[in-house]
Amino acid sequence: MKKVTFDNPKEFWAKIDWVLLDMDGTLLDKYFDDYFWETLVPQKYAEKYGLTVQDAKEELMRFYRREEGTLNWTDLDFWSKKLNLDIPALKEQISHLIKIHPYVEDLLNFLHQIGKKTALVTNAHYKSLDLKLRQTQLDSFFDHVICAFDVGLPKEDKKFWALLQQKLEFDPQRTLFIDDSEGPLLAAKEAGIKYVIFKSRPSSKLPSKLPQNNFFRIEYFKELM
């Protein structure tokens, strides 16, 4: 697993026109989402259906696994209907836990200064995206904010990247994509995006993780500057 090091950062950035950045776990601390889906939702589900929290967790994990890698995985309306819980309202209750990772704003200012085009590219549902952008104001740093629901496919689908390329008109050979999940990185690479980087520390509460595939990796964005 190759950790990114830059002997000549100017030379690297000269090869890049577009920088595509995932949101949850990459720009934002994934602790919010982990706590929400693994702690708060099981508690509320257990209360609603008279289960122990452990039984609720096991049942929910089965539900989650079935939808992983699909748009349903992040669709708040789907989960509200499936679980009979007001998922957007529960997210609002803990919105104070939404935090930006260290060095994110530094990187985005740096990219603006060196003239790179930027897009936030996320699988997050509209309601989750709106909440997080209200809380962080990160959209002000980007040229484009792209939600997978706009495209109709998750980032794990190779066809997502072809459609995104049509929309943004980027050259895949001069584009960098950074994500904390390997599925989207593999799909992007397969679709021809030349530069992909694995963000190895999605949650501030957990240690860094190594990718299973041979991606370059970073823990913090300061490594790119």
Across the range 117-145, mean pLDDT stands at 97
Rounded to whole angstroms, the Cα distance separating 218 from 200 reads: 6
Q: Indicate the domain borders of the chain.
A: 2-29+100-224, 32-96
pTM, entire model: 0.94
Give the confidence band of 5 by pLDDT, cuts at 50, 70, 90: low
- By DSSP bridging, strand 195-199 and strand 18-21 are unpaired
CATH 3.40.50.10490 matches 2-29+100-224: no
Residue 132: phi, psi to the nearest 5? Answer: -70, -35
Q: What is the pLDDT of residues 50-76, one digit of tens each?
A: 999 999 999 999 999 999 989 999 999
Question: Using an 8 Å Cβ cutoff, are 181 and 162 in contact?
Answer: no
